[in-house]
Amino acid sequence: MAEFENQKFDYVIVGGGSAGCVVASRLSERSQNNVLLLEAGEDFIPGTEPMEIRDTFAGTAHSNPRFTWLGQTVAWGPRPSNAPDNRKRVRYAQGRVIGGGSSVNGMISIRGVPTDYDGWVERGAKGWGWDDVLPYFKKQETDVDFDGPLHGQDGPMAVRRIFEDRWPGFTKGFVEAAREDGWNDLKDKNAVFSDGYFPIAVANQEGRRTSTATAYLTTDVRARPNFNILGEARVEKVLFSGTKATGVRVHRRGEVFDIQANEVIVSSGALQSPALLLRSGIGPAAELTESGIDLVADRAGVGKHLMEHPGVNFGCYMKKDSRLPPDLRLPMYAGMRWSSGVEGCPAGDMYMIPMNKSFWHAVGERVGLMMLWVNKSYSTGEVRLNANDPMGVPKVDFNMCSDERDLERLKIGTRFMAKLCEKHGLQDKLHDVFPISYSDRARRYAVYNTPNKFQTWVGGQAMDMSGPLRRWVIRNFISDGLTVRDILEDDDTMTQWIQKTVLGHFHASCSNRMGAADDPGAVTDPSARVYGVEGLRVADASIMPAVPCANTNFPTIMIGEKVAGTILAEG
């Protein structure tokens, strides 16, 4: 790509995801900035995206290998301490397309709670408290339902809710069960931070997904003479002269070439960003030496402190009149934030949501999910390079439930979830509530392709024909025969089920965390500059000091806005 080799950019942004698109758009607003955005996946001008990307049912794109990192697997549960590591590694869908996670995720637009960000300050991220980040949350959004001092009205991301009069039966049953149990309607979860249920805010407009690609990289933005986007461009490493970043080495369609930059901003996500830093010689010295990589900066925290929201699910066969009607595609409409009461854990540390469609296929249309997760988790894992292929997908271990507080709260949540399922509101909408076990067979059918579409259609018809056939499909394809009663009546069984089936929600974060200069585990300073080098920043979910009580898309967009604002303020 000679056209890019022969010029030097002021800013090269590596990764066009939830934060990278924001940073590129904002920096290129200043005409004297020459900006290049590199995206490993395909680039689509807004309006030309494939159906799977536009679709507001996230599972269509999320399950398609075309738009995610091929071959990326992770270990979920706790790492064994005195035994061989026999944990199953399972597929982890991370967006690999312009817009990144915002182009394939569930579009849920939650900020978290003020204590999340005040906690970031306590961990060394000065200037990232609630009052500091709120202006950037407001800057990114246009909330079409609520106004006031906590909401934005002229930002690129459209935020809306579908209210109770249009909810499908399963969601209505969930909320009725919550009411029976005494919980209150918060109405606006982004402005009321107590416990209760609420309609979910999502990023979509006129029935189409709003991603950072569609919102921030509009036709007008793309037409700026000082801005370029290069898709299908994989960055091997950041280039250095001593400890000063000078550019990046790019692989694209069989070519390898270098691009020069005054500053490099890595926005590749919580799995790919630490991998890129490690390939570039920034990370734990011993690990880099072991991988044969020349050391540029010894930063022990690169790839460490990886966080997610650990959770478990109940499945349920929804009665026909409780399923998604033809005019609705979103699978999630209402949720519930609540407090476990476990000593030392903050308020709002738990989350539950009914999902009206569990997978893209016909069985998924019939099986709803009660999704439970720990909203404020403590377990941490790590990202390491693939020893056999540093350019390949990294080795990821979430090590969930390694902190006893997370395991205990999942037990509390499981009992609470079972209690809600016994309420009249849900009993009227469902048959056959069962603990999800995600067998290998179920995971294979989750992949979006034509054979799976046909086979799951057959399975869906069988489920509708009779109770015995339905329970046979559930037992053999989804639950591995375990019942809710089994896990409620025996604590060891519940523990084993949680440790075996615990999973995340594609909220990977914190693997290059921000912190104070004297924190040996910190990777960036509060301005997102990487410690130990010059001309290099990270701007994505990896710099979060701790995962917030929120789906991470909106907090990640906020990071993009705030880091871009910091850079522009520096001039």
Return the active site residues. 507
> Letter for the amino acid at 28?
S
CA distances (Å), origin 43, targets 16, 141, 210, 393? 9, 23, 15, 20
CA distances (Å), origin 436, targets 30, 81, 468, 478? 50, 26, 18, 6
For residues 482 and 278, is the Cβ–Cβ distance under 8 A? Answer: no
| Tokens 């033809």 belong to residue | 326
CA distances (Å), origin 256, targets 149, 230, 236, 526? 49, 14, 9, 33
3-state secondary structure of 240: strand
Token output for 94: 């991370």
Residue 396 is classified by DSSP as: E
Parallel, antiparallel or unpaired: strands 367-374 and 311-318 = antiparallel
Dist CA 54 CA 50 (whole Å): 7
Dist CA 276 CA 292 (whole Å): 15
Dist CA 365 CA 245 (whole Å): 50
Q: At what angle do helices 20-27 and 553-570 cross, to 10 degrees?
A: 30
Dist CA 530 CA 240 (whole Å): 13
What does residue 82 show for φ and ψ, rounded to 5 degrees? -125, 35
Which residues on adjacent β-strands are paired with residue 433? 316
| Tokens 């067998």 belong to residue | 439
Parallel, antiparallel or unpaired: strands 350-355 and 367-374 = antiparallel
DSSP assignment of 87-141: PPEEE---B-BTTGGGGTS--B-----HHHHHHHHHTT-TT-SHHHHHHHHHHHE
For residues 526 and 514, is the Cβ–Cβ distance under 8 A? Answer: yes
